[in-house]
Amino acid sequence: MLFMNKILISLVLLSCVAWGQVVRSIEFKNLTRVSPVVANAMVDMSIGAPLDTKKLNSVIKEFFSLGYFEDIKVIQNGGNLVFYFVEKPVIVNIQMKGYKTRKEDIQTVLDMIGIQKGAIYSSNTITKAKKELKAMLRAEGYINNVVEIEVEKIKKFLIGLNIIVNKGDEIVITQANYKGAQEFDDDEFDDVLANKEVELFPWFFGQNDGILQAEQLQYEDMRLKELYLEHGFLDANVSKVVADINYNTIEAKLGYDISEGVQYKVGDIMIYMDKQVKDPDKIIAELKLEKGDIFNIKNLRKDIEFIKLEIGEGGYAFVKVAYNLRKDGDIVNINFNVTVGEKVYINDVMIDGNTRTLDRVIRRDVYIGPKELYSLRDIKDSENALRRTGFFDEVEIKQQRVSKEKMDLIVKVKEAKTGTLMFGGGYGSYNGFSINASVDDRNTFGSSKKFGLSLAKSKFSQSATISIFNPAINDSKYNGSASLYHSDSTIEYTDDKLEITRDGGTLGIGKKLSRYARVGLLYRLEQVTETHTVLTDDNEDYVTSSIKPYVSYNNTDDYYVPRSGIDTGFSVEYAGVGGDSKYLRTSTSFKTYFGLKKYIDYDMVLRYKFNIRTIDDLGEIHEGDSYVLGGVNTVRGYRYAAFKSLDRENHPYTRVASTTAGASFPLVPSAKLRWAIFADAGTIGEKDFNELQKYGYGVAIEWFSMVGPIRLIWAEAIDPDPDDDTENFEFSLGSKF
């Protein structure tokens, strides 16, 4: 209404003097957001044409409709038109106090309430934003909240906003009643609900704080219904939650009415489909649901996806699987009706969400491309390959139908923190405190190249290493690596001390053979000085020049927490390509993972690994080549190198092996926090593996934080000898199982 009054006043002034006038000139004052060319086009009046006040009315309305201006005035003097604009200010800075601290969270809130940097300021926008923010706070369970948005003038037409939030009071759930529930207890309901009754020590780690999440109340009955369906109660009914809120005491009581019904077991399973595409009986044999099992809606959904996966191998992308549940007493028979559809080819592959990683880096691990026959297994393998890189927190390949026989694939990723600053340490009864630190980036500048710098120091050793690795030279199947290092270590004997200094570097080349397998060759050149500092001052200087061919295989489904697959490798190092050392060293490693979630509906992961290393004398091996046992990479519960040859020159340990069996469990899934149990075994010897055997066990907390994986390890040695060097606690940042 205000700007219409301004238009009316301007036009009245014009009409008093415009009769019979012609346009002699047009000028724009204080106009920065619209170019003069565009402004003249909007006015659409030619010099010499009659001055039309009705047309000016439309012109001013059109300028106002752009949303850029607070006021517009038009002055006419003898046919000379001058437009005066008062532009709205632009928001160039936004600060938020009292609500959210992380930059990403604040930006999410601003997106939801409709305020952005660079946007044009409007009082209506601010009023709406305050209303939206207060609604968000109420939805999170806060009452009596206050939101103020202060406007700060920075420069002419530039302003800043200070959003000041008083969240108010939180409503606490003091009681939750589940009328009619007999099969499950409150703790089992708490596992699936967002709104939970407050526990005795709400401030303690892992306890329910009972804070009401009002926006989640509408979904709670569906969550309880899902719980019953996962345990065979197909007839279960759950009412909408009734919330009784006392605003005086800021407390709430929640109530549900539940009718559980009968628990069903799985009966006969049938799949109706074209047998020429796939044998239904072979598919049924691989389903999660089996005759006699308690019915589980989650397994039914997994079976539907499995059927699609099996049939999708033949290029059938648009498989439709419908199911029918036929109840017979407490038995439910399941019929799957499968519509195969036409074979489908890929039209295009698009990348979305990569703010840092280059498109071509992602496409290397997408195993299906344009014009190729659709394969759901290829898509799943591509998702796993992208997860194995460790570059992304989330990976999903979405399918978008283009036509009856074509589809687009959209590779949607969420970038992870690939640059890490790592710090770790431990304490041992013999070695004292040890620390290690490193800086590395697995995805330097989004190119997938890995750069690393590491430092380590303890009472008896120190080292520094710089390295670089390119997994795909010029986007080919070939990879390359290089490193430089320096280390000093000390080995104490009963009556002597051996100091070993190493300076060297490596160069490597490799090739990717398949989706999971790689081969390569590594060359190492190293200058070593060994010095006995107690009995004698003898120095031994020698050069090691070696080549090491290797092969590796990795089909795990994730970088940090694999739940399936194996990661194994084998290498043979031959020293004797020039230099003084002459030996043959072998190294074998194996890791395997087995997730139990699909079997017991709990994210438990069984893990097993072993390492075997040997060295054989081909003419010259040295004291520093002798193996040691103990520490985080072999047998925990003992310090690093707790077990070593007492005469490394004449009787070196040339055989060492270690193995670990354990399990990993979720602790706080939302924080990527897990805990694990483990049992270690190791053996070492001069000619055989079984000359000395040691065992340990313990527990660990594993946190996959923004700066890398952190591990806290508590270990106990099993039946140690009185003079064994034990180590009960270690922590590290950057290493994983």
Same-domain status, 250 and 273: no
Cα gap 219→547, rounded to integer Å: 62
Helix pair 123-139, 103-113: axis angle to 10 deg: 120
Q: Which amino acid is at 325?
A: L
* One domain, residues 711 and 579: yes
Question: What was the pLDDT predicted at 8?
Answer: 43
Question: What DSSP line would sit under 548-598, residue for residue?
Answer: EEEEEEE--S-SSS--EEEEEEEEEEEE-SSSS-EEEEEEEEEEEEEE-HH
Could you tell me how many residues make up the chain?
737
Last residue within a domain, chosen from 32, 57, 87: 87
- Same domain, yes or no: 592 and 486: yes
If you search the block for the tokens 């009245």, which residue do you land on? 12
Q: Where a domain ends, among 339, 363, 378?
A: 339
Sign of CA dihedral 716, 718, 722, 726: negative
Backbone angles phi, psi at 524, to 5 degrees: -130, 135
Neighbours of 76 (CB within 10 A): 21
Q: Which two tokens stand for residue 410?
A: 């959209």
Calculate helix-pair angle for 297-312, 376-388, nearest 10 degrees: 110
**How far separated are the first and last CA of the chain, in Å rounded?**
69
Q: Are residues 526 and 554 in the same domain?
A: yes
Give the CATH number for residue 578. 2.40.160.50
At 3 the pLDDT is 44
pTM flag (> 0.75) = no
Same domain assignment for residues 574 and 722: yes
pLDDT the model gives residue 437: 66
Amino acid making up residue 412: K
Check which CATH number belongs to the domain holding 15 and give it: 3.10.20.310
pLDDT value for 135: 86
- Same domain, yes or no: 624 and 702: yes
Query: According to the model, what pLDDT value does residue 349 have?
Result: 94
Concatenate the DSSP letters of all residues of 415-477 into one string.
Answer: E---EEEEEEEEEETTTEEEEEEEEEEEEETTTTEEEEEEEEE-SSEEEEEEEEEESSGGGSS
User: In 3D, which of 680, 664, 698 has the Cα closest to residue 594?
Assistant: 664
User: Domain check: are 434 and 402 in the same one?
Assistant: no
275 and 231 assigned to the same domain: no
Strands lying side by side in the sheet with 320-328: 265-272, 331-339, 320-328
pLDDT along the chain (737 residues), means of 10: 45 45 86 84 85 83 85 86 88 89 84 87 87 85 86 86 88 92 90 88 75 87 94 95 88 94 95 88 91 94 90 86 94 94 91 88 91 89 89 89 90 79 50 62 78 77 87 89 90 73 94 92 92 71 94 89 93 92 96 87 92 94 86 88 82 94 90 91 92 94 75 92 88 66
> What is the predicted pLDDT for the residue at 78?
81
143 plus 271 within the same structural domain? no
**Pair (510, 620) in one structural domain:** yes
Q: Residue with structure tokens 């390949």?
A: 397
Strand 80-87 versus strand 25-29 pairing type: parallel
Query: What pLDDT is recorded for position 75?
Result: 87
What pLDDT was estimated at residue 443?
75
Torsion of CA 597, 601, 602, 603, to 10 degrees: 30
Q: Which two tokens stand for residue 97?
A: 């106090």
Domain count, the chain: 6
What is the distance between the alpha carbons of residues 224 and 229, in angstroms, rounded to a whole number?
A: 9
Question: What is the C-alpha to C-alpha distance for residues 351 and 363, in angstroms, rounded to an integer?
Answer: 8
Q: Residue 519's closest CA among 509, 533, 505?
A: 509
String of DSSP letters for 114-167: T--TTPBP-HHHHHHHHHHHHHHHHHTTEES-EEEEEEEEEETTEEEEEEEEE-
Label residues 250-278 b or e (16+ Cβ within 10 Å = b): bbbebebbbebeebbebbebebebeeeeb
Phi, psi of 231 (to 5 degrees): -120, 25
Question: Which residues form the domain of 178?
Answer: 171-259
Q: Would you tell me how many other CB atoms lie within 10 Å of the CB of residue 329?
A: 9
Q: What is the pLDDT of residue 668?
A: 84
What sections of 546-614 are H helices per DSSP?
Answer: 597-600
Q: Choose one of 339, 369, 398: the last residue of a domain.
A: 339
In a shared domain, residues 394 and 442: no
Co-location of 99 and 80 in the same domain: no
Three-state DSSP at 388 gives helix
User: From CA 561, how far away is CA 557, in angstroms rounded?
Assistant: 8
